[in-house]
């Protein structure tokens, strides 16, 4: 009884106590246990070769839950209407991202959800300033009300969520609070955001205030003080954003209360410590200023990470190694800043992620698919609350495209053709459970393993061989039933485009197009067999194995 009383006192005195046990916090709310379906299969013989890598998983040693919101993506108004594109919708339903962010990216800060083209609020200036060297010119604004075939309207977005059985995360226009020319620009912008919450009618629980507002590339980073009426400084700061964040949060949560809904609001934060001179004082001091004035008011921390060095022709090794390194740096830094300001650790949402590597078509390659696999495994292990990859569709840009699907401008492939990363994320989502299992240390470098289990007690394991050597892997699961049936998929690249093949092979099957992967990945047969002890298989260089054990 005394122990029970102490536990209840901890919960009453520290509502964030539960988050210490589950750092994902409310991102685990309303999440059902994950089910798995047996794939089509063909019989498979274990290789009779010497083992080079041994992996041991302890079925009884669990390491917490996995958020269902790690598999998300970003949708954008410039994608087109998309809900009337049957090929794309079929791909998205199979992918099952669970959460889709909108309107996403820089244009969130010039997006007006409740009006149509050429009908912005009267206090929006024609020219909006930025902090970089771009010439001043009339701003291209984006609107939620549109019937343009080339634009995704707000109503289309809500239909997209419904058709893909996903929930939303919405990024409201914070920068309007900066560049608005009215008497009370902050209150006007917060009111616009609160009215979106009312209009949403409880469909969306997760909201963000602005997008990368610390960056010179964002609208409102710099404002014309001659047209500003509430005495804001020319340049933004973390402290100013924090003061404004509190006003937004108050207005939006009041609106949510009116409609009897519960919402959670994230703040824009810097993902890792910035020490280089070119990064500037605003970025370096952003988190300090924000957390000093609004740390207690933030529900979750919004981070973005493009993992590899900016605008460099990075090698496969640099790309693949960045997934572990950068993911860990983010979590450690969030813990560091929370400790510095004596704040409880908040759930972390990585609402944009991809790679910055350019020059060899890295973004459209199978290596980016491998990178995505490692990122998802690390985010699960590090207990991120949610993640949404950037993005569903963009523009080919000679192979430097962040889009998961071709937008029709890629040579040799049809509109909405999935890039290799689609297949890696599809199989990860399909064969990774919602409860982590601990894996014993692996002696062989270049081999990673992420293990999980499902509601049915089946085990989902993902093995990544990021080395250039063939490995014979032997997998043993301690304290698991003696008779096991396994299903195995291996994903590899092709021989085109040097180290960055634009194709992916799934159990040896690929596409007839110049890029992408096989049609209907759900129909491809797994390699299956039975074992009463250990599972042994070949792991090719630069490959990923997705393994389901019943």
> Of 324, 323, 347, whose CA–CA distance to 335 is shortest?
347
Please tell me the total number of residues recorded for the chain in this structure.
550
Q: Is the domain of 247 the same as that of 115?
A: yes
**What local confidence, expressed as pLDDT, does residue 482 receive?**
61
d(CA 170, CA 55) in angstroms, rounded, equals 41
- Domain assignment present for residue 168? The answer is yes
Q: What is the CA radius of gyration of the chain?
A: 24
Tokens representing 386?
A: 């949610």
- pTM for the complete prediction? 0.95
> Of 394, 332, 302, whose CA–CA distance to 76 is shortest?
394
Number of domains the chain contains? 2
Q: Is the domain of 51 the same as that of 143?
A: no
The answer to whether the beta carbons of residues 406 and 413 sit under 8 Å apart is yes
**What local confidence, expressed as pLDDT, does residue 280 receive?**
80
- Domain assignment present for residue 333? The answer is no
d(CA 448, CA 14) in angstroms, rounded, equals 37
Q: Is the domain of 111 the same as that of 57?
A: no
> Of 68, 69, 71, whose CA–CA distance to 35 is shortest?
68
Q: Is the domain of 48 the same as that of 108?
A: no
Tokens representing 102?
A: 């909108």
Please give the distance of CA 58 from its chain centroid, rounded to a whole number.
Answer: 28
- Long-range pairs, 157-163, Cβ under 8 A, ≥24: 157/75, 157/100, 157/102, 157/103, 158/203, 159/83, 160/75, 160/82, 160/83, 160/92, 160/100, 161/100, 161/203, 163/83, 163/89, 163/92, 163/93
Query: What's the domain range around 523?
Result: 34-65+435-549
CATH, residue 490:
2.60.40.1180
**What local confidence, expressed as pLDDT, does residue 21 receive?**
57
Q: Is the domain of 60 the same as that of 137?
A: no
Distances (CA, A) of 531 to 44, 271, 410: 11, 44, 45
Give kind and range of the element (H or E) at residue 319: helix 316-340
The answer to whether the beta carbons of residues 274 and 283 sit under 8 Å apart is yes
Tokens representing 490?
A: 């291996």
End position of a domain, from candidates 266, 298, 330: 298
The answer to whether the beta carbons of residues 476 and 55 sit under 8 Å apart is yes
The answer to whether the beta carbons of residues 85 and 92 sit under 8 Å apart is no
End position of a domain, from candidates 298, 326, 342: 298
Q: Is the domain of 55 the same as that of 178?
A: no
pLDDT in tens for each of the 550 residues of the chain? 444 444 434 434 443 433 345 899 999 998 888 999 999 999 988 888 999 999 999 999 999 999 999 999 999 999 999 999 999 999 999 999 999 999 989 999 999 999 999 899 999 999 999 999 899 999 999 999 998 888 999 999 999 999 999 999 999 999 999 999 999 999 999 999 999 999 999 999 999 999 999 999 999 999 999 999 999 999 999 999 999 999 999 999 999 999 999 999 999 999 999 877 667 889 999 999 999 999 999 999 999 999 999 999 999 999 999 999 999 999 999 999 999 999 999 999 999 999 999 999 999 999 999 999 999 999 999 999 999 999 999 999 999 999 999 999 999 999 999 999 999 999 999 999 999 999 998 888 899 999 999 998 999 999 999 999 999 999 999 988 767 899 999 999 999 999 999 999 999 999 999 999 999 999 999 999 988 778 999 999 999 999 999 8
- Domain assignment present for residue 464? The answer is yes
* Burial per residue of 248-279, b for 16 or more beta-carbon CB atoms within 10 angstroms, e otherwise: bbebbbebbeeeebebbbbbbbbbeebeeeee
End position of a domain, from candidates 248, 264, 298: 298
């Amino acid at each position: 009884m005394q122990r029970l009383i102490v536990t209840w006192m901890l919960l009453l005195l520290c509502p964030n106590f539960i988050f210490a046990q589950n750092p994902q916090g409310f991102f685990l709310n309303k999440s059902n246990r994950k089910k798995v379906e047996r794939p089509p299969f063909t019989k498979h013989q274990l290789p009779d070769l010497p083992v080079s890598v041994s992996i041991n998983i302890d079925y009884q040693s669990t390491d917490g839950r996995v958020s269902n919101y790690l598999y998300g993506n970003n949708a954008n108004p410039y994608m087109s209407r998309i809900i009337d594109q049957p090929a794309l919708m079929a791909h998205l339903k199979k992918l099952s991202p669970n959460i889709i962010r909108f309107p996403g990216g820089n244009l969130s800060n010039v997006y007006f959800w409740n009006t149509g083209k050429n009908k912005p609020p009267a206090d929006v200036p024609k020219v909006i300033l930025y902090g970089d060297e771009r010439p001043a010119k009339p701003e291209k604004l984006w609107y939620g009300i549109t019937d343009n075939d080339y634009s995704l309207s707000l109503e289309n977005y809500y239909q997209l969520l419904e058709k893909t059985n996903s929930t939303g995360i919405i990024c409201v226009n914070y920068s309007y609070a900066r560049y608005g020319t009215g008497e009370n620009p902050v209150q006007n912008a917060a009111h616009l955001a609160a009215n979106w919450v009312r209009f949403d009618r409880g469909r969306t629980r997760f909201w963000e205030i602005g997008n990368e507002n610390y960056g010179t590339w964002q609208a409102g980073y710099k404002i014309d003080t001659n047209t500003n009426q509430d005495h804001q400084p020319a340049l933004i700061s973390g402290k100013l954003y924090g003061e404004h964040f509190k006003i937004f949060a108050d207005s939006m949560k009041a609106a949510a209360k009116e409609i009897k809904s519960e919402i959670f609001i994230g703040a824009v934060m810097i993902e890792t410590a910035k020490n280089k001179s070119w990064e500037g004082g605003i970025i370096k001091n952003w988190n300090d200023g924000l957390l000093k004035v609004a740390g207690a008011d933030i529900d979750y921390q919004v981070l973005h990470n493009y993992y590899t060095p900016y605008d460099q022709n990075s090698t496969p090794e640099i790309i693949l190694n960045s997934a572990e390194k950068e993911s860990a740096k983010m979590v450690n830094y969030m813990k560091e800043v929370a400790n510095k300001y004596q704040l409880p650790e908040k759930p972390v949402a990585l609402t944009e992620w991809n790679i910055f590597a350019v020059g060899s078509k890295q973004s459209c390659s199978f290596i980016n698919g491998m990178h995505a696999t490692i990122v998802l495994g690390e985010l699960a292990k590090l207990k991120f609350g949610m993640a949404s990859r950037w993005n569903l569709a963009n523009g080919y840009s000679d192979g430097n495209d962040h889009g998961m699907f071709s937008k029709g401008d890629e040579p040799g492939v049809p509109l909405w053709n999935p890039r290799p990363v689609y297949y890696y994320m599809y199989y990860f989502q399909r064969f990774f459970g919602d409860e982590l299992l601990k894996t014993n240390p692996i002696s062989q470098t270049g081999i990673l393993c992420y293990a999980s289990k499902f509601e049915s007690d089946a085990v989902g394991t993902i093995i990544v061989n990021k080395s250039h050597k063939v490995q014979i892997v032997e997998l043993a699961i301690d304290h698991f039933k003696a008779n096991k049936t396994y299903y195995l998929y291996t994903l590899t690249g092709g021989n085109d485009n040097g180290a960055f093949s634009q194709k992916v092979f799934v159990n040896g099957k690929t596409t007839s197009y110049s890029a992408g992967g096989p049609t209907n990945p759900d129909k491809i047969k797994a390699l299956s067999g039975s074992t009463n002890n250990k599972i042994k298989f070949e792991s090719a260089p630069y490959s990923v194995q997705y393994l389901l054990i019943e």
